[in-house]
Amino acid sequence: MNDARDLALILRSRFPLVAIETHEEPRAMQLLERLCNLEEWALFTWTVTAGLRRHGRTDIVPATAEFAAALRHIEKTQQNGIYALLDAHPFIEDPMNRRLIREIALGYHRTARTLVFVSPAIELPPELARLSARFTLSLPDLPAIRALIKEEAELWEREEGSRVKGQQEALHLLAQHLVGMCRDDARRHLRNAIREDGAITMADVEKVLEAKHQALGGDAVLALELETAGFGDVAGLAQLKKWLARRRPVFLGEKRIPGVHAPKGVLLLGVQGGGKSLAAKAVAGAWGVPLMRLDFAVLYNKFIGETERRLREALKQADAMAPCVLWIDEIEKGVAGAAGDDGDGGVSRRVLGTLLTWMAERKRRVFLVATANDVSALPPELLRKGRFDEIFFVDLPDAATRRAIFAIHIARRGLDAQRMDLDRLATAADGFSGAEIEEAVVSALYESHASGRTMDTDLIAEEIARTRPLSVVMAERVDALRAWAAGRAVMAG
């Protein structure tokens, strides 16, 4: 972390305005104070509660509590230096204040006065933005977070006389998820986890994830899915599981392979109900990272430019949640207009452009899992090699996989799968998707309770016989999808 070097470079570059957007005001002020001492620059601070004063002194410049009055004083003074304006962002909206700030900035060549705005959020108008530079305090990396955990654990041991307990996996995940938070927030969450029960557990990890998401302003566009699955809940898909297992340690930073970048993501194509969504959840569950779901249905907005802005914000939030899995379900519904008819006024094309730019330029460990049912609706720009690490086709389950799916859903409902003739059920359900198999089990349970019959193989077989699967109802479309995938995608099973 080279905060001091980077901020010194900005200040020496003679920018009259500098914006430091941070929640860590004390840290920003310590950095400014250290730089001003080294460079022998005068440092002044302004707050609405105290007015303007020389940093380190108690005497205040009279009648400068009002922001406009403080700006007028700075504009008239011949004192070179750094003027740190704390939480001044609400006052910048005033046209008179804007003009005063601009006059100070334009007079920099006569008197070197640098206005440094320090606030949690700063939006400068165009006439001021072109005269300014932005600086962001660096966030602690993984080694720094681990050092923070050690520091807090040692503090607990000194105060309580006992060592912090917990699970090694929970400790590892907690450290991973605290990365991306500022140091003060990370310390608060860590201290809360330790002091609640003297231990770090998976429950603490979930609390940190939820707090992190809410702190980012988590809305319906990007939802944190706490209910994830494991690969034990997914029958079949052997090739996909093998592919993901080989890339897990690299994605999590546990292993580095020279010349190999962290995996970016996969596109899962297939028949509806084939298990694509469950597979997306299983990636997050197996890798032990949060699952973020991007909902295109909520994303679209009637106002021009608002949809693209909301997508950029959602992707920014996903970056901040790294390491994580970003799941875009039925991605064709969000970019369908970009593949042909431009009937939505170009919104789909702009959404696609925003998404492709993020996919190409992202630096954080966000693994994208996109699912699609209709490949014909996907634009070629999204399918070209390099957008995704791999395109997998999730076909209808074969007999062995259908047998495993029946076993999973029967056992999940508290029944003994070994008492069922799973081979008979697997044969009867030829052409069924995983979702249709689950529904057959659920329907049989309803029938069992309604008729008083024992839940057995015959009851499930009867429900299967009454069902016409999608592979029959939509045979032409399913066959066309299979024909497209042959030779173009890797079979997931």
Tell me, yes or no, whether 128 and 267 share the same domain. no
Instruction: List Cβ neighbours of 97 (8 Å cut-off, separation of 6 or more).
Output: 67, 68, 71, 91
233: in domain? no
- Considering just the CA atoms, what is the radius of gyration of the chain in Å? 29
Q: Residue 62 sits in which domain range?
A: 3-135
Q: Are residues 250 and 382 in the same domain?
A: yes
Shared domain check, 362 and 274:
yes
pLDDT (tens digit per residue) in 174-190: 887 787 678 888 888 88
Percent of the chain's residues with pLDDT above 90: 39
273: domain CATH number? 3.40.50.300
Q: Quick check: is 286 in a domain?
A: yes
Question: The domain spanning residue 407 has which CATH number?
Answer: 1.10.8
Residue owning tokens 């016409």: 468
Query: Does 276 lie in the same domain as 312?
Result: yes
- Please say which residue of 197, 215, 233 terminates a domain: 215
SS3 298: helix
Q: For residue range 109-125, list pLDDT tens digits in order.
A: 999 999 999 998 888 99
Q: Check whether the bond before 323 is cis (ω within 30° of 0).
A: yes
Q: How many CB atoms lie within 10 A of CB 242?
A: 9
Q: Do 155 and 38 fall into the same domain?
A: no
**Beta carbons of 345 and 307 less than 8 angstroms apart:** no
Q: 387 and 423 in one domain?
A: no
Residue 427 banded pLDDT, cuts 50, 70, 90: very high
State whether 332 and 422 are in the same domain.
no
The total number of structural domains that make up the chain: 4
Based on the domain organization, do 278 and 318 belong to the same domain?
yes
Output the pTM of the full model.
0.66
Give the angle 98-103-105 at the CA atoms, nearest 5°: 95
Same domain, residue pair 248 and 172 = no
Closest alpha carbon to 314 in 296, 329, 331, 301: 296
Q: Answer whether residue 373 is part of any domain.
A: yes
| Mean pLDDT calculated for residue range 469-476 | 89
Does residue 222 belong to any structural domain of this protein? no
